[in-house]
A and B are shown apart, each in its own frame.
Chain A
Amino acid sequence: MEPDRNRQPEMPPPADQQQATLLLERISAGQGEAANELLPMVYDQLRGIAGSYFRGQRPDHTLQPTALVHEAYMKLVRASDTDWKSRAHFCAVAATAMRQILRDHVDAKRAVKRGGGNAKRADLDVDQITTPSGKDTLDVMALEDALTALHQASERQGRIVELIFFGGLEVAEIAEVIEVSERTVARDWRTARAWLNTELSGASA
């Protein structure tokens, strides 16, 4: 738990912006591997933005759906770049980053629990949290496990859930990003949603 040095990703220097924009252009042009380079930049940005919401740097402490991704986009990519396709590709990278954040988060939580031994842990990290819009509560670990299982059974369905759930993408945008028909996306989503709902509700374990 050493104090790390101040590496807040709040305002990326213009060089980062240029690089991010270039990478995005490459992804849009079909060079999917550029996403690997863009991913860490987006990851840092998302964590930084999310963190700032609670450090009292925002007048209101609520997050609208997809506002997070939108803000990361505005900060990382040149504002003039408004092509919907590249925006979709950006959201897809952001979805991967968020999935990674979720995974890291759950790993850290499990490590804390394992390290417990006979120590009684305080109920500090609430596993059950309510989304800001108050829709439902989700169990972080159950969600992570369900997404992993789905990914193993059907990679495409797992990816589609990520894109909708984390990236906030529409069916047409997903079709563009993963290069399948909109019909396939809709069908996969229908199946994945039914499975996740039953899995996360625990109704038919």
Chain B
Amino acid sequence: MTPEQLQLALELFEEACDLSPHERVALLDSRCNGDAAVRARVEAMLRDDEAPSGVLSSDARGVGAEFLAAEIASEHSHPEQIGRYRVVREVGRGGMGVVYEAEQDNPRRRVALKVIRDGFTSRQLVRRFEQEAHILGQLEHPGIARVYDAGSAHIGNSEWPYYAMEYIDGPPVHMFVHEQRLSTREILELVARICDAVQHAHQRAIIHRDLKPANVLVIEHGTTVATGSSIVSDGIGQPKVVDFGIARATDTEQFESIQTQTGRSLARSPT
């Protein structure tokens, strides 16, 4: 229905409300301009008006609020436990999945759990995730968020692959630069640190494939991290590249060929 048709339907309904059945027919005959859709709609509206049957049948006050709250709440629902991790809260959500903050008991640490809720729940995918995590787990650099583990979680009736990564409590790099009002020199230094991290991976034949500001988080000056590997004493901050290689791990079409290549190159000792 076009906006014009809708407008006409609303108008005619209002007028028809006060009329007798006979007069209603006459009104619709003269005013619908032969538009059967408008006429059918007004008639349906009048029927509904006499005996409301739709979602807004009874007291509609606050129904939308109630409904929306349930919808939002279902978005926020999360399993209490995923694998060996206790889920604390949801920290991010995108087209591909959900990121949770979670805790592990042994070793005791905070992790970011990235659960891929993408529909590929085959054994094959889960296996691939485990392989990827193994490869990515070898990336050890203060500028790269560590991948600890991969597995699959039962959520509802499905099995969802997940990664457990080092939890980074910091803003994305573009926000960090803005908030801290870094000078050009400091920004360049920060970029150099990001380059060091990326270089480290490239030397091990691992490419990120989705490098963007949102995937570079920065730990502010003086913050200690769980791994204890880096305490930065200047005000520039320690960048942490996250989601290394994950774009590829979830890319089904390209995966098979690349996986063999990567596997081969990683069989060598790192240069």
What are the 7 closest A-B residue pairs judged by CB atoms, nearest first?
Answer: A197-B54, A168-B62, A65-B62, A165-B64, A66-B62, A194-B45, A204-B44
Q: Give the residue name and chain of the A residue nearest to B58 (CB).
A: A135
Q: Give the residue name and chain of the B residue nearest to A124 (CB).
A: B117
A168 touches B65 (CB 8 A): yes
In the assembled complex, B148 has its CB within 8 A of some CB on chain A? no
In the assembled complex, B17 has its CB within 8 A of some CB on chain A? yes
- Chain A residues 134-172 with CB under 8 Å of chain B are 135-136, 138, 140, 149-150, 152-154, 157, 162, 164-170
- Chain A residues 99-147 with CB under 8 Å of chain B are 101-102, 105, 111-112, 115, 119-122, 124-126, 129-133, 135-136, 138, 140
What is the bound-complex CA distance between A50 and B46, given in angstroms? 36
Q: Could you give 27 example pairs across A and B, Cβ below 8 Å?
A: A1-B243, A2-B99, A50-B69, A50-B76, A51-B75, A55-B89, A56-B80, A105-B68, A119-B118, A119-B119, A119-B120, A126-B74, A129-B71, A131-B63, A135-B63, A136-B54, A136-B55, A153-B6, A153-B10, A164-B61, A165-B63, A166-B64, A187-B17, A191-B17, A195-B10, A196-B54, A198-B44
B76 touches A1 (CB 8 A): no
B61 touches A195 (CB 8 A): no
What is the bound-complex CA distance between A132 and B73, given in angstroms? 11
**Chain A contacts for B167, CB-based, 8 A:** 3
Known: A120-B120, A138-B55, A204-B44. A195 touches B69 (CB 8 A): no
A194 touches B49 (CB 8 A): yes
**Chain A contacts for B96, CB-based, 8 A:** 1
B71 touches A105 (CB 8 A): yes
Residue in B7, B56, B99 whose beta carbon sits within 8 Å of that of A193 in the complex: B56
In the assembled complex, B198 has its CB within 8 A of some CB on chain A? no
A173-193 contact mask (Cβ, 8 Å, vs B): 1 or 0: 000000000000001001111
In the assembled complex, B256 has its CB within 8 A of some CB on chain A? no
**Chain B contacts for A87, CB-based, 8 A:** none
**Chain B contacts for A193, CB-based, 8 A:** 48-49, 52, 56, 60
Which residues from chain A sit less than 8 Å from chain B, CB to CB? 1-5, 47, 49-51, 53-56, 61, 63-69, 94, 98, 101-102, 105, 111-112, 115, 119-122, 124-126, 129-133, 135-136, 138, 140, 149-150, 152-154, 157, 162, 164-170, 187, 190-198, 200-201, 203-204
Q: Report the interface size for chain B: residues with CB under 8 A from the other chain.
A: 75
